[in-house]
Amino acid sequence: MKNRKYTIGIDFGTDSVRTIVIDSSNGHIVGNAIAKYERWAKGMYCNPSANQFRQHPLDHIESLKHAIKEVIDTLTSEIINGIAAISVATTGSTPIAVNREGVPLALLPGFEENPHAMFILWKDHTAIGEAEEINALAHNQSSIDYTKYSGGEYSSEWFWAKILHTLRVDSKVREAAHSWMEHCDWIPSLLTGNTDLRTIKRSRCAAGHKAMWHNDWNGLPADEFWTQLDPLLSGLRDRLYTDTCTSDQIAGTISEEWSQLLGLPKDVVIGVGSFDAHIGAIGGAIKPYHMVKVIGTSTCDMIVAPKSEIGNKAIHGICGQVDGSILPNMIGLEAGQSAFGDLYAWYRDILMWPANKIVADSKLLDEATKAALLEEMEEGILSELSMAASKIEIEESGIIALDWMNGRRTPNSNQNLKGALQGLTLGTTAPNIFRALVEATAFGSKKIIEQFQEEGVRIDGVIAIGGVAQKSEFVMQILADVLNFPIRIIKSEQTCALGAAMAAAVVAGLYDSIMDAQDAMGSGFQKEYYPKPENVEKYKTLYTQYSTLADFVEAQQLKES
């Protein structure tokens, strides 16, 4: 036991931070904890109707402390003393404005309650107009097409669009912001105590996929490009970074302050951060040409391919291709859907509205009973819908849905798009609609696979990780039938944190490569869903109808704009 080494993987998700401590020799989890973001849970600083989603850095600091302390309290001194490294994964693109000392503005006097001084969450779409401007300039023949390796379209979910929007709408932030940092870069900076913006290690994953960093133009797009777009961005490139690092590299050693705060050894090394989906693909046993689908509130679809086969060929319509963004020395390819589980949650909330209103105001029940009833309904509604929807025959309801309730990430990013339902009648039931929504998310996934295949990237297999993959047999069977691929489900319930722990093991020198760490620390698979031939054929017809509706809705949107 004294000779064993352990690593900590930390996953900053949309709603909470998840922490696991792993025996690096075999992948056995010796401790884990989850801490929710208190302010986020209350809906603070967010305005869903305006697509504004912000998170206070204090949520991340407090939850980080809580989760690690909780798990450390369960461990023996031998295990604690054997902890060698920590690596983190976060959502992204989730940037924040910082001052010259690298401190997020929301942590400074005068900005504590300002949403524009906080982390701009990945699903914030307030910068749709700015993204359109970036695309228009990049696609102008007089300019280098800096979107070339980002799928050909820059998204409102990404770094530069969010920054420009914030600078335009908030003069106080504009004056105080010296630079900007991704969440996955800030957390290692926090843990190491390094606030020097010139030496903070920047994630290759974040820079390449969301900020258009590429070797072809010596890093980030040229300052002349940003100045032409808007003088507010002039000079920012020089205050950001040039070099980037993959997740197998060291960001630094834990600071004295954080070592004491968390009760960790003083020699714990901190790895360079990464995005949750990409490092989750590592925990999800990714290998060349096997798509790892990270299925949660949204999806991220990850593929790796040898550089010798992809090279600098630009793959159109996806969320980017980056050398080393997932596995070092391989091209990481990303795609995804802006809403997957979020679509089901939206429908749940629609159905819960009468209960939340009427039960809350009822004079027939005491407050404790009201709260318990509403909690039971909210927790059980999707499982009841799934059970009822599973008994409906394919094509029986005649409903076709579009999964664009939060815009479309891929193929061909367009966050202006809206969802749709077609074929409703007075006989339509709640389970009918739910089944159509599930089928729509599967059809959206199929569009992504077809995009890769049309661009010459083959798909040899599909692996799924995340909450939906773990919990919903109904959703996963439909997905297998629509994709016409067997889908293997990773056993680990914390795959992103597991991938971070694997990266940490390489950072600590316990393994020579991430692939070696995967072999030793992987969780294996818990289940495999196989497509049912009779369902595959039926879904071909529905998929054609989905595609027709999608083309019509997108064409109408173009006319209106």
Mind spelling out the 3-state secondary structure of 330-359?
Answer: EEEEEEEECCCHHHHHHHHHHHHHHHHHHH
Average pLDDT estimate for 61-75: 97
pLDDT in tens, 472-523: 999 999 999 999 999 999 999 999 999 999 999 999 999 999 999 999 999 9
- Does the pLDDT at position 415 exceed 90? no
| Cβ atoms within 10 Å, residue 134 | 28
CATH number 3.30.420.40 is the correct assignment for the domain at 6-284+493-525: yes
Paired sense of beta strands 420-422 and 461-465, if any: unpaired
CA–CA gap between residue 518 and residue 227 (Å, rounded) = 44
pLDDT confidence of 3, banded at 50, 70, 90? Answer: low
Region 447-468: mean pLDDT is 96
Average pLDDT for residues 21-27, to the nearest whole number? 97
What average pLDDT score do residues 465-476 get?
94
Q: What are phi and psi of 150, to 5 degrees?
A: -110, 25
The tokens describing 403, both together, are 């999964």
Q: What is the pLDDT of residue 2?
A: 47
For range 230-256, the mean pLDDT? 98
Instruction: Specify the pTM.
Output: 0.91
Average pLDDT over residues 397-425: 93
Q: What is the DSSP string of 461-503?
A: EEEEESHHHHH-HHHHHHHHHHHTS-EEEES-S-HHHHHHHHH
Whole-angstrom distance, CA of residue 127 vs CA of residue 129 = 5
Interatomic CA distance for residues 31 and 74, integer angstroms? 7
Does the structure show a pLDDT above 80 at 561?
no
CATH superfamily, with its number, for domain 341-491+531-560: ATPase, nucleotide binding domain (3.30.420.40)
pLDDT in tens, 305-337: 999 998 778 999 999 999 999 999 999 999 999
Q: What is the DSSP string of 44-60?
A: TT-BGGGTB-EE-HHHH
Q: What percent of the chain has pLDDT over 70?
A: 99
553: tokens are 């809705």
Give per-residue burial for 358-389: e unless 16+ CB within 10 Å, then b.
Answer: ebeeeeeeeeeebeeeeeebbeebbeebbeeb
At 535-546, the pLDDT tens digits run: 999 999 999 999
Give Cα separations from 557 to 177, 263, 423, 451 (angstroms).
Answer: 36, 55, 20, 22
Which stretches within 284-336 are classed as H helix? 307-310
Q: Are 30 and 23 in contact (CB under 8 A)?
A: yes
- Contact of 143 with 154, CB cutoff 8 Å: no
pLDDT of residue 1: 41
Tell how strand 330-337 and strand 54-55 pair up: unpaired
From residue 539, alpha-carbon distances to 403, 458, 510, 547 in Å are: 16, 22, 47, 12
- Residues linked to residue 120 through DSSP beta bridges, in sequence order: 54
What are 29's strand-pairing partners?
22
**Which two tokens mark 18?**
């998840």
What pLDDT is recorded for position 557?
Answer: 84
- Do 6-284+493-525 and 341-491+531-560 show the same overall fold? yes
pLDDT digits (tens, 9 = 90+) for 348-376: 999 999 999 999 899 999 999 999 999 99
pLDDT in tens, 210-230: 999 999 999 999 999 999 999
Domain ranges of the chain: 6-284+493-525, 341-491+531-560
Cα–Cα distance between 95 and 57 in angstroms, integer?
11
CA count, 13 A, side-chain hemisphere, 156: 23
